[in-house]
Amino acid sequence: MTIVMIGIDLGKNSCSLAGLDESGAVVLRRRMQPATIVSFAAKQPHCTIAMEACCGAHYLGRLLSSQGHTVKLMAPEYVRPYVKAQKNDDRDAEAIAEAATRPTMRFVDLKTQEQLDIQSLHRVRSRLVGARTSLINQLRAVLLERGMTAPQGRRKFEQAIEGLLNDPERLPEGRVRQLVVDMREEWLGLDARIGNLDTEFVALARADETARRLTSIPGIGALNATALLAAAGNAEGFDHARDFGAWLGLVPRQHTTGGRPRLLGISKRGNTYLRTLLIHGARAALPTLEKTDSALGQWLRDLLARRHRNAVVVALANKMARIVWALIRHKAVFSLKPAIVA
């Protein structure tokens, strides 16, 4: 029995393994705890081990790779079509092994522990921002029940809250006033925690040479640079800049049938967090870039003349993603090239 491919369906308490021989037949089925996978793999001859790119897969993949095995990670959506009949853990493991044998399968690069740590910081910050937004919305509702409204925008609402707390006539002493004070203190605590993470991201960006080059791109700050490097690494998984933009979901969604191509809105595939950061960065950089006497500025002005501004923002975000890929892969430095005068 020669095993050339092992598919592992990861779980918190139990994992299923399926081993394939050279002909693709299943010659091994095992179920074991996650802690015993490394010792089991150490006893096997060097082979290819495939897993879905889920929580814990990168950590386990690095351990298995250190033993000499070839580790391949795949997106779960690419494995789903290979599940036969009824779904169970053994079928999932077999599907993972079979999907990894396909020559056109797309694989996920193994991330280092540093990349995963930075991603964890970004996810914690995203959760805190969401909690702050939920708190602000609830505070608005509490005041609206008492006939008090505030202008849109977090900063304007923050000023309005301070004015209410300093005016006992508008917000008299009582349980609701104490509730507003407590929610305001919680809001300030979330601001402090988010600010500490932002300061940490700035320090990380300054310490990394690639991140410093990325921050030279208009619309790319410390937050965007660290998030992009944590997710893409050295960008070796993308052969072309357009592949990186497509991975981020910034390209049109295609629906072609009968030889008639049809392009729809952006696909919105991939990492929603990265795509959101790039679009917000493009929206902030657009007013300045469109006024520059550069090739990028001329391109934006021509695009604004025939497209809606929101569509131009997304196009600029895609352009920024391509520039990010070029700076990472080719170690280049960004500069605005002058426009060509006819």
Q: What is the CATH number of domain 5-100?
A: 3.30.420.40
Q: What is the pLDDT of residue 211?
A: 94
Handedness of CA 145, 149, 151, 157 (dihedral sign): negative
255: pLDDT strictly greater than 70:
yes
- Output 169-177 pairs: Cβ under 8 A, ≥24 positions apart: 171/146, 176/142, 176/146
Q: Which of 261, 249, 235 shows the shortest CA–CA distance to 326? A: 235
Burial of 93 (0-12, 13-18, 19+ CB in 10 A): buried
Phi, psi of 48 (to 5 degrees): -95, 130
So what's the pLDDT on residue 78?
A: 92
For residue 323, which of 202, 242, 230 has the smallest C-alpha distance? 242
Residue 251 has pLDDT above 60, yes or no: yes
Q: Would you kindly state where each structural domain of the chain is located, as residue ranges?
A: 5-100, 113-207, 210-330
Averaged confidence pLDDT in the chain? 91
The Cα-based distances of 71 to 38, 66, 85, 101 in angstroms read 13, 10, 27, 12
44: left (phi over 0), alpha (psi -120 to 50) or beta: beta
Strand partners, 74: 52
* Burial of 146 from C-beta contacts in 10 A (0-12 / 13-18 / 19+): exposed
162: pLDDT strictly greater than 80: yes
Q: Is residue 49 classed as helix, strand or coil in its secondary structure? A: strand
Query: 2-16 pLDDT, tens per residue?
Result: 899 999 999 989 999
C-alpha span between 314 and 304 (Å, rounded):
12
Nearest-Å Rg of the Cα atoms of the chain is 25
pLDDT at 219 over 70: yes
- What tokens does 210 get? 């690639």
Q: Which amino acid is at 196?
A: N
Q: Is the distance from CB of 49 to CB of 67 less than 8 angstroms?
A: no
How many of the other CB atoms lie within 10 Å of CB of 339? 15
Helix (H, G, I), strand (E, B) or coil at 30: strand
Is 334 or 46 the better-scoring residue by pLDDT? 46
Q: Residue range 4-30: average pLDDT?
A: 92
% of the chain at pLDDT higher than 90: 71
Residue 337 has pLDDT above 80, yes or no: no
Distance separating alpha carbons of residues 279 and 317, to the nearest angstrom:
5
More confident residue, 298 or 85: 298
Q: CA torsion sign, 115 to 121 to 126 to 127?
A: positive
* Two structure tokens written together for 296: 């990028």
Q: What is the pLDDT of residue 340?
A: 63
The C-alpha atoms of residue 115 and residue 117 are separated, in whole angstroms, by 5
Element counts in the chain: helices (H) and strands (E): 13, 7
pLDDT at 341: 54
Q: Are strands 15-20 and 26-32 parallel, antiparallel or unpaired?
A: antiparallel
CA–CA distance from 93 to each of 5, 75, 84, 275, 341 (Å)? 11, 14, 11, 31, 60
Average pLDDT score over residue span 174-197: 93
User: What is the H or E stretch that residue 90 is in?
Assistant: helix 89-100
Q: Side chain identity at 123, as an amino acid letter?
A: R
Residues 6+ apart with CB under 8 A from 305: none
pTM: 0.88
